[in-house]
Structure 1
Protein backbone atom coordinates (compact mmCIF):
# COMPACT_ATOMS: atom_id res chain seq x y z
CA UNK A 1 0.00 0.00 0.00
CA UNK A 2 1.34 3.42 -0.95
CA UNK A 3 2.55 6.18 1.35
CA UNK A 4 0.14 8.94 2.44
CA UNK A 5 1.89 12.28 2.02
CA UNK A 6 0.46 15.59 3.24
CA UNK A 7 1.82 18.24 0.90
CA UNK A 8 1.55 21.89 0.01
CA UNK A 9 3.50 24.98 -0.88
CA UNK A 10 3.73 27.08 2.28
CA UNK A 11 4.99 30.47 3.48
CA UNK A 12 7.77 30.55 6.06
CA UNK A 13 5.17 31.42 8.73
CA UNK A 14 3.05 28.39 7.91
CA UNK A 15 0.28 29.60 5.58
CA UNK A 16 -0.87 28.01 2.31
CA UNK A 17 -2.97 31.02 1.23
CA UNK A 18 -4.04 34.35 2.61
CA UNK A 19 -7.43 35.02 4.23
CA UNK A 20 -8.98 35.48 0.77
CA UNK A 21 -7.63 32.13 -0.45
CA UNK A 22 -5.09 33.92 -2.65
CA UNK A 23 -1.79 32.05 -2.94
CA UNK A 24 -0.08 35.26 -4.12
CA UNK A 25 3.64 34.53 -4.77
CA UNK A 26 3.63 31.05 -3.24
CA UNK A 27 3.49 29.32 -6.63
CA UNK A 28 5.87 31.57 -8.55
CA UNK A 29 8.67 29.00 -8.29
CA UNK A 30 6.62 26.58 -10.38
CA UNK A 31 7.26 28.83 -13.37
CA UNK A 32 10.66 30.45 -12.72
CA UNK A 33 12.85 27.77 -14.28
CA UNK A 34 13.47 26.21 -17.67
CA UNK A 35 12.97 22.49 -16.99
CA UNK A 36 9.41 21.24 -17.66
CA UNK A 37 7.76 18.72 -15.36
CA UNK A 38 6.25 16.12 -17.68
CA UNK A 39 3.61 13.43 -17.36
CA UNK A 40 3.36 10.30 -19.53
CA UNK A 41 4.00 10.91 -23.20
CA UNK A 42 6.00 14.06 -22.41
CA UNK A 43 2.79 15.97 -21.69
CA UNK A 44 3.53 18.86 -19.34
CA UNK A 45 1.84 18.76 -15.97
CA UNK A 46 -0.83 21.43 -15.65
CA UNK A 47 -0.73 22.86 -12.13
CA UNK A 48 -3.45 25.46 -12.59
CA UNK A 49 -5.90 23.59 -14.80
CA UNK A 50 -5.54 26.43 -17.31
CA UNK A 51 -3.10 24.78 -19.68
CA UNK A 52 -0.01 26.30 -18.06
CA UNK A 53 2.85 23.81 -17.86
CA UNK A 54 5.29 23.75 -14.96
CA UNK A 55 8.88 24.82 -15.56
CA UNK A 56 11.12 24.75 -12.50
CA UNK A 57 14.77 25.23 -11.70
CA UNK A 58 17.27 22.43 -12.11
CA UNK A 59 17.58 22.04 -8.34
CA UNK A 60 13.81 21.43 -8.01
CA UNK A 61 13.21 19.43 -11.18
CA UNK A 62 14.37 15.95 -10.15
CA UNK A 63 12.61 16.11 -6.77
CA UNK A 64 9.33 17.43 -8.14
CA UNK A 65 9.28 15.07 -11.11
CA UNK A 66 10.05 11.96 -9.06
CA UNK A 67 7.55 12.91 -6.35
CA UNK A 68 4.68 13.68 -8.72
CA UNK A 69 5.32 10.51 -10.72
CA UNK A 70 4.60 8.40 -7.62
CA UNK A 71 1.16 9.91 -6.93
CA UNK A 72 -1.91 7.85 -7.74
CA UNK A 73 -4.64 9.73 -5.85
CA UNK A 74 -5.09 13.27 -4.52
CA UNK A 75 -7.24 13.95 -1.45
CA UNK A 76 -8.66 17.47 -1.22
CA UNK A 77 -11.30 19.37 0.74
CA UNK A 78 -14.49 20.80 -0.72
CA UNK A 79 -13.23 24.36 -0.27
CA UNK A 80 -10.31 23.79 -2.64
CA UNK A 81 -12.48 21.80 -5.02
CA UNK A 82 -14.89 24.73 -5.31
CA UNK A 83 -12.08 27.29 -5.65
CA UNK A 84 -10.45 25.52 -8.61
CA UNK A 85 -13.60 23.74 -9.85
CA UNK A 86 -11.80 20.45 -9.37
CA UNK A 87 -9.20 21.46 -11.97
CA UNK A 88 -12.00 20.85 -14.50
CA UNK A 89 -11.69 17.10 -13.97
CA UNK A 90 -7.97 17.08 -14.82
CA UNK A 91 -5.91 16.86 -11.61
CA UNK A 92 -2.36 18.22 -11.84
CA UNK A 93 -1.02 14.72 -11.13
CA UNK A 94 -2.37 11.26 -10.39
CA UNK A 95 -5.33 9.45 -11.89
CA UNK A 96 -7.94 9.86 -9.15
CA UNK A 97 -9.21 12.48 -6.70
CA UNK A 98 -11.10 11.98 -3.44
CA UNK A 99 -12.98 15.04 -2.18
CA UNK A 100 -13.88 15.21 1.52
CA UNK A 101 -17.31 16.82 1.57
CA UNK A 102 -20.79 16.45 3.03
CA UNK A 103 -22.13 17.60 -0.34
CA UNK A 104 -22.22 15.28 -3.37
CA UNK A 105 -20.47 15.85 -6.67
CA UNK A 106 -22.17 18.67 -8.59
CA UNK A 107 -24.81 17.24 -10.90
CA UNK A 108 -23.44 16.64 -14.39
CA UNK A 109 -19.91 17.73 -13.43
CA UNK A 110 -17.30 15.98 -15.63
CA UNK A 111 -18.77 12.45 -15.44
CA UNK A 112 -15.67 11.09 -17.16
CA UNK A 113 -13.37 12.14 -14.31
CA UNK A 114 -12.42 9.74 -11.50
CA UNK A 115 -13.54 12.02 -8.64
CA UNK A 116 -15.09 10.49 -5.52
CA UNK A 117 -16.92 12.44 -2.80
CA UNK A 118 -16.63 11.05 0.75
CA UNK A 119 -17.90 12.69 3.95
CA UNK A 120 -15.40 11.21 6.44
CA UNK A 121 -11.60 11.61 6.53
CA UNK A 122 -10.90 7.98 7.44
CA UNK A 123 -13.17 6.71 4.67
CA UNK A 124 -11.53 9.20 2.30
CA UNK A 125 -8.05 7.81 2.97
CA UNK A 126 -9.34 4.24 2.66
CA UNK A 127 -10.86 5.09 -0.72
CA UNK A 128 -7.77 6.97 -1.85
CA UNK A 129 -5.51 4.04 -0.97
CA UNK A 130 -7.80 1.61 -2.77
CA UNK A 131 -7.67 3.75 -5.91
CA UNK A 132 -3.92 4.42 -5.69
CA UNK A 133 -2.87 0.80 -5.23
CA UNK A 134 0.90 0.77 -4.70
CA UNK A 135 1.22 4.45 -5.61
CA UNK A 136 1.24 7.34 -3.15
CA UNK A 137 -1.74 9.28 -1.84
CA UNK A 138 -1.18 13.06 -1.80
CA UNK A 139 -3.24 14.95 0.80
CA UNK A 140 -3.65 18.69 0.25
CA UNK A 141 -2.78 20.62 3.40
CA UNK A 142 -5.28 22.90 5.13
CA UNK A 143 -8.29 22.18 7.33
CA UNK A 144 -9.10 18.76 5.85
CA UNK A 145 -5.42 17.83 5.61
CA UNK A 146 -4.99 18.83 9.24
CA UNK A 147 -7.88 16.58 10.26
CA UNK A 148 -6.33 13.66 8.37
CA UNK A 149 -2.95 14.37 9.97
CA UNK A 150 -4.44 14.63 13.48
CA UNK A 151 -6.23 11.30 12.93
CA UNK A 152 -2.84 9.60 12.46
CA UNK A 153 -3.45 8.79 8.79
CA UNK A 154 -0.45 10.65 7.34
CA UNK A 155 2.92 8.91 6.85
CA UNK A 156 4.96 11.88 5.68
CA UNK A 157 4.74 15.67 5.52
CA UNK A 158 6.17 17.44 2.46
CA UNK A 159 6.55 21.21 2.42
CA UNK A 160 7.71 23.47 -0.39
CA UNK A 161 8.68 26.50 1.70
CA UNK A 162 8.67 29.86 -0.08
CA UNK A 163 10.41 32.98 1.33
CA UNK A 164 7.29 35.04 1.96
CA UNK A 165 5.48 35.98 5.19
CA UNK A 166 1.67 36.20 5.12
CA UNK A 167 1.02 36.99 8.79
CA UNK A 168 -2.43 35.40 8.61
CA UNK A 169 -4.50 33.19 6.35
CA UNK A 170 -5.06 29.48 5.74
CA UNK A 171 -2.73 27.40 7.90
CA UNK A 172 -0.83 24.39 6.57
CA UNK A 173 -2.08 22.19 9.41
CA UNK A 174 -5.49 23.82 9.69
CA UNK A 175 -6.79 24.27 13.22
CA UNK A 176 -5.40 21.12 14.86
CA UNK A 177 -4.67 21.12 18.59
CA UNK A 178 -2.02 19.34 20.59
CA UNK A 179 1.59 18.39 19.99
CA UNK A 180 2.58 16.28 16.99
CA UNK A 181 6.18 15.30 16.34
CA UNK A 182 7.97 14.71 13.06
CA UNK A 183 11.28 13.02 12.35
CA UNK A 184 14.28 15.02 11.17
CA UNK A 185 13.81 15.93 7.48
CA UNK A 186 15.04 13.22 5.13
CA UNK A 187 14.73 15.53 2.12
CA UNK A 188 16.27 19.03 2.13
CA UNK A 189 16.64 20.55 -1.35
CA UNK A 190 17.13 24.24 -2.10
CA UNK A 191 15.58 25.28 -5.39
CA UNK A 192 15.18 28.69 -6.96
CA UNK A 193 12.81 30.56 -4.62
CA UNK A 194 11.78 27.42 -2.71
CA UNK A 195 13.08 25.00 -0.08
CA UNK A 196 11.79 21.42 -0.40
CA UNK A 197 11.45 19.62 2.94
CA UNK A 198 10.08 16.18 3.70
CA UNK A 199 9.52 14.61 7.12
CA UNK A 200 8.30 11.22 8.32
CA UNK A 201 5.60 11.38 10.99
CA UNK A 202 6.41 9.87 14.36
CA UNK A 203 4.02 7.19 15.60
CA UNK A 204 2.94 7.05 19.23
CA UNK A 205 1.87 4.23 21.48
CA UNK A 206 -0.33 5.15 24.44
CA UNK A 207 1.85 5.53 27.52
CA UNK A 208 5.06 4.92 25.57
CA UNK A 209 7.84 6.87 23.95
CA UNK A 210 7.40 7.82 20.29
CA UNK A 211 7.97 4.97 17.85
CA UNK A 212 10.01 5.61 14.75
CA UNK A 213 8.39 4.41 11.52
CA UNK A 214 10.34 1.81 9.54
CA UNK A 215 12.68 2.88 6.82
Structure 2
Protein backbone atom coordinates (compact mmCIF):
# COMPACT_ATOMS: atom_id res chain seq x y z
CA UNK A 1 0.00 0.00 0.00
CA UNK A 2 1.07 3.57 -0.62
CA UNK A 3 1.91 6.29 1.88
CA UNK A 4 -0.85 8.29 3.59
CA UNK A 5 0.09 11.98 3.60
CA UNK A 6 -1.82 14.71 5.42
CA UNK A 7 -1.40 17.80 3.26
CA UNK A 8 -2.55 21.39 3.00
CA UNK A 9 -1.49 24.95 2.39
CA UNK A 10 -1.24 26.68 5.77
CA UNK A 11 -0.52 30.07 7.33
CA UNK A 12 2.55 30.47 9.53
CA UNK A 13 0.28 30.39 12.58
CA UNK A 14 -1.31 27.11 11.56
CA UNK A 15 -4.59 27.97 9.82
CA UNK A 16 -5.90 26.59 6.52
CA UNK A 17 -8.77 29.11 6.22
CA UNK A 18 -10.53 31.73 8.28
CA UNK A 19 -13.71 31.03 10.25
CA UNK A 20 -15.78 31.54 7.08
CA UNK A 21 -13.66 29.07 5.05
CA UNK A 22 -12.00 31.92 3.13
CA UNK A 23 -8.40 30.98 2.29
CA UNK A 24 -7.38 34.58 1.65
CA UNK A 25 -3.87 34.75 0.10
CA UNK A 26 -2.93 31.15 0.99
CA UNK A 27 -3.24 29.84 -2.57
CA UNK A 28 -1.85 32.84 -4.48
CA UNK A 29 1.50 31.08 -5.03
CA UNK A 30 -0.35 28.35 -6.95
CA UNK A 31 -1.22 30.86 -9.67
CA UNK A 32 1.60 33.44 -9.64
CA UNK A 33 4.44 31.54 -11.31
CA UNK A 34 5.15 30.57 -14.90
CA UNK A 35 5.47 26.80 -14.56
CA UNK A 36 2.25 24.78 -15.04
CA UNK A 37 1.95 21.82 -12.71
CA UNK A 38 -0.78 19.79 -14.43
CA UNK A 39 -0.19 18.04 -17.73
CA UNK A 40 -3.35 17.11 -19.58
CA UNK A 41 -3.52 14.51 -22.32
CA UNK A 42 -1.81 15.79 -25.46
CA UNK A 43 -0.33 18.82 -23.69
CA UNK A 44 3.23 19.37 -22.53
CA UNK A 45 4.68 21.32 -19.65
CA UNK A 46 5.89 24.68 -20.88
CA UNK A 47 6.29 28.23 -19.61
CA UNK A 48 3.12 29.62 -21.14
CA UNK A 49 0.71 28.29 -18.55
CA UNK A 50 -1.22 26.38 -21.21
CA UNK A 51 -3.24 23.45 -20.01
CA UNK A 52 -3.52 24.48 -16.38
CA UNK A 53 -4.63 27.37 -14.22
CA UNK A 54 -2.05 26.22 -11.66
CA UNK A 55 1.30 27.94 -12.35
CA UNK A 56 4.02 27.95 -9.72
CA UNK A 57 7.59 29.22 -9.50
CA UNK A 58 10.53 27.20 -10.79
CA UNK A 59 11.54 26.53 -7.17
CA UNK A 60 8.20 24.81 -6.44
CA UNK A 61 7.45 23.20 -9.80
CA UNK A 62 9.36 19.92 -9.56
CA UNK A 63 8.18 19.21 -6.02
CA UNK A 64 4.52 20.02 -6.66
CA UNK A 65 4.43 18.11 -9.95
CA UNK A 66 5.94 14.98 -8.41
CA UNK A 67 3.73 15.26 -5.32
CA UNK A 68 0.55 15.57 -7.37
CA UNK A 69 1.62 12.83 -9.81
CA UNK A 70 2.13 10.41 -6.91
CA UNK A 71 -1.44 10.80 -5.62
CA UNK A 72 -3.89 8.00 -6.33
CA UNK A 73 -6.70 9.03 -3.99
CA UNK A 74 -7.69 12.22 -2.17
CA UNK A 75 -9.57 12.04 1.14
CA UNK A 76 -11.59 15.13 1.96
CA UNK A 77 -14.34 16.24 4.32
CA UNK A 78 -17.87 17.16 3.36
CA UNK A 79 -17.29 20.88 4.04
CA UNK A 80 -14.55 21.10 1.41
CA UNK A 81 -16.55 18.96 -0.99
CA UNK A 82 -19.48 21.36 -0.71
CA UNK A 83 -17.26 24.47 -0.99
CA UNK A 84 -15.68 23.35 -4.29
CA UNK A 85 -18.57 21.11 -5.41
CA UNK A 86 -16.11 18.24 -5.55
CA UNK A 87 -14.14 20.04 -8.27
CA UNK A 88 -17.04 19.07 -10.53
CA UNK A 89 -15.86 15.46 -10.51
CA UNK A 90 -12.38 16.36 -11.82
CA UNK A 91 -9.93 16.52 -8.87
CA UNK A 92 -6.66 18.40 -9.39
CA UNK A 93 -4.71 15.23 -8.57
CA UNK A 94 -5.41 11.53 -8.34
CA UNK A 95 -7.99 9.25 -9.93
CA UNK A 96 -10.29 8.79 -6.95
CA UNK A 97 -11.78 10.85 -4.12
CA UNK A 98 -13.15 9.57 -0.83
CA UNK A 99 -15.45 12.01 1.00
CA UNK A 100 -15.94 11.56 4.74
CA UNK A 101 -19.58 12.44 5.29
CA UNK A 102 -22.73 11.22 7.00
CA UNK A 103 -24.65 12.47 3.98
CA UNK A 104 -24.61 10.50 0.70
CA UNK A 105 -23.39 11.75 -2.66
CA UNK A 106 -25.82 14.34 -4.04
CA UNK A 107 -28.37 12.65 -6.26
CA UNK A 108 -27.34 12.77 -9.91
CA UNK A 109 -23.97 14.40 -9.15
CA UNK A 110 -21.35 13.45 -11.79
CA UNK A 111 -22.13 9.69 -11.85
CA UNK A 112 -19.06 9.07 -14.00
CA UNK A 113 -16.65 10.38 -11.33
CA UNK A 114 -14.88 7.97 -8.96
CA UNK A 115 -16.10 9.63 -5.75
CA UNK A 116 -16.96 7.50 -2.74
CA UNK A 117 -18.85 8.72 0.35
CA UNK A 118 -17.90 7.02 3.62
CA UNK A 119 -19.16 7.99 7.07
CA UNK A 120 -16.11 6.96 9.11
CA UNK A 121 -12.51 8.19 8.89
CA UNK A 122 -10.92 4.78 9.48
CA UNK A 123 -13.08 3.19 6.80
CA UNK A 124 -12.40 6.13 4.48
CA UNK A 125 -8.62 5.70 4.74
CA UNK A 126 -8.95 1.95 4.16
CA UNK A 127 -11.09 2.58 1.07
CA UNK A 128 -8.68 5.23 -0.19
CA UNK A 129 -5.65 2.95 0.22
CA UNK A 130 -7.39 0.16 -1.67
CA UNK A 131 -8.27 2.52 -4.51
CA UNK A 132 -4.79 4.08 -4.59
CA UNK A 133 -2.87 0.79 -4.66
CA UNK A 134 0.83 1.65 -4.52
CA UNK A 135 0.18 5.36 -5.00
CA UNK A 136 -0.17 8.02 -2.32
CA UNK A 137 -3.31 8.77 -0.35
CA UNK A 138 -3.53 12.53 0.24
CA UNK A 139 -5.70 13.53 3.20
CA UNK A 140 -6.79 17.15 3.39
CA UNK A 141 -5.85 18.77 6.69
CA UNK A 142 -8.50 20.15 9.03
CA UNK A 143 -11.02 18.09 10.97
CA UNK A 144 -10.89 14.96 8.79
CA UNK A 145 -7.10 15.01 8.52
CA UNK A 146 -6.81 15.54 12.27
CA UNK A 147 -9.05 12.56 12.96
CA UNK A 148 -6.92 10.37 10.69
CA UNK A 149 -3.72 11.72 12.27
CA UNK A 150 -4.97 11.15 15.83
CA UNK A 151 -5.98 7.59 14.90
CA UNK A 152 -2.44 6.80 13.74
CA UNK A 153 -3.47 6.47 10.09
CA UNK A 154 -1.13 9.16 8.70
CA UNK A 155 2.47 8.35 7.66
CA UNK A 156 3.65 11.84 6.73
CA UNK A 157 2.65 15.47 7.21
CA UNK A 158 3.18 17.88 4.29
CA UNK A 159 2.74 21.63 4.66
CA UNK A 160 2.97 24.44 2.12
CA UNK A 161 3.57 27.30 4.57
CA UNK A 162 2.61 30.76 3.34
CA UNK A 163 3.95 33.91 5.07
CA UNK A 164 0.64 35.25 6.34
CA UNK A 165 -0.81 35.35 9.86
CA UNK A 166 -4.53 34.60 10.20
CA UNK A 167 -4.88 34.89 13.96
CA UNK A 168 -7.91 32.61 14.02
CA UNK A 169 -9.87 30.29 11.77
CA UNK A 170 -9.76 26.64 10.71
CA UNK A 171 -6.65 24.92 12.06
CA UNK A 172 -4.41 22.60 10.05
CA UNK A 173 -4.63 20.02 12.86
CA UNK A 174 -8.26 20.73 13.66
CA UNK A 175 -9.17 20.22 17.30
CA UNK A 176 -6.58 17.52 17.93
CA UNK A 177 -5.75 16.84 21.59
CA UNK A 178 -2.37 16.30 23.18
CA UNK A 179 1.15 16.33 21.81
CA UNK A 180 2.25 14.29 18.81
CA UNK A 181 5.84 13.99 17.64
CA UNK A 182 7.06 14.26 14.07
CA UNK A 183 10.52 13.45 12.76
CA UNK A 184 12.82 16.21 11.54
CA UNK A 185 11.68 17.54 8.16
CA UNK A 186 13.02 15.34 5.38
CA UNK A 187 12.07 17.88 2.73
CA UNK A 188 12.52 21.66 2.88
CA UNK A 189 12.05 23.71 -0.30
CA UNK A 190 11.85 27.49 -0.37
CA UNK A 191 9.55 28.68 -3.13
CA UNK A 192 8.21 32.13 -3.94
CA UNK A 193 5.87 33.12 -1.08
CA UNK A 194 5.73 29.51 0.13
CA UNK A 195 7.89 27.06 2.10
CA UNK A 196 7.35 23.35 1.38
CA UNK A 197 7.89 21.01 4.34
CA UNK A 198 7.44 17.26 4.80
CA UNK A 199 7.72 15.33 8.06
CA UNK A 200 7.38 11.64 8.78
CA UNK A 201 5.14 10.84 11.73
CA UNK A 202 7.15 9.46 14.63
CA UNK A 203 5.87 6.05 15.68
Interval containing the TM-score (normalised by the shorter chain): over 0.9
Alignment of 1:58-73 (within 5 A): 58-73=58-73
CA drift at 1:62: 0.5
1:123-145: per-residue Cα shift (whole Å, max 9, x none)?
00000000000000000000111
8 A Cα contact 1:72 1:136, kept in partner: yes
The aligned counterpart of 2:48 is: none
The separation in 2 between residues aligned to 1:99 and 1:88, in whole angstroms, is 14
The root-mean-square deviation of aligned C-alpha atoms, in Å, is 1.4
CA drift at 1:44: 8.5
The aligned counterpart of 2:90 is: 90
The separation in 1 between residues aligned to 2:84 and 2:30, in whole angstroms, is 17
8 A Cα contact 1:10 1:16, kept in partner: yes
Matched, 1:197 2:182: no
CA drift at 1:38: 2.2
Structure 2: give runs of 5+ residues left out of the alignment: 46-50
The separation in 1 between residues aligned to 2:12 and 2:42, in whole angstroms, is 33
The separation in 2 between residues aligned to 1:59 and 1:80, in whole angstroms, is 28
CA drift at 1:39: 3.0
Secondary structure of 2:27's aligned partner: helix
8 A Cα contact 1:101 1:117, kept in partner: yes
8 A Cα contact 2:38 2:52, kept in partner: no
Secondary structure of 1:24's aligned partner: coil
**TM-score w.r.t. length of structure 1:** 0.89
1:47-95: per-residue Cα shift (whole Å, max 9, x none)?
xxxx962110000000000111000000000010011110111101000
Matched, 1:165 2:165: yes
Number of residue pairs aligned between Structure 1 and Structure 2: 198
Secondary structure of 2:80's aligned partner: helix
With over 3 angstroms needed to count, the CA separation of the structure-2 counterparts of 1:39 and 1:82, relative to structure 1, is same
The separation in 2 between residues aligned to 1:121 and 1:37, in whole angstroms, is 29
CA drift at 1:42: 5.6
The separation in 2 between residues aligned to 1:95 and 1:53, in whole angstroms, is 19
The aligned counterpart of 1:23 is: 23
The aligned counterpart of 2:116 is: 116
1:116-162: per-residue Cα shift (whole Å, max 9, x none)?
00001110000000000000000000011100000000000000000
8 A Cα contact 2:156 2:199, kept in partner: yes
The separation in 1 between residues aligned to 2:108 and 2:41, in whole angstroms, is 29
**TM-score w.r.t. length of structure 2:** 0.95
8 A Cα contact 2:10 2:162, kept in partner: yes
User: After TM superposition, where is structure 1 displaced by more than 2 Å over at least 4 residues in a row?
Assistant: 38-45
The aligned counterpart of 1:104 is: 104
With over 3 angstroms needed to count, the CA separation of the structure-2 counterparts of 1:93 and 1:151, relative to structure 1, is same
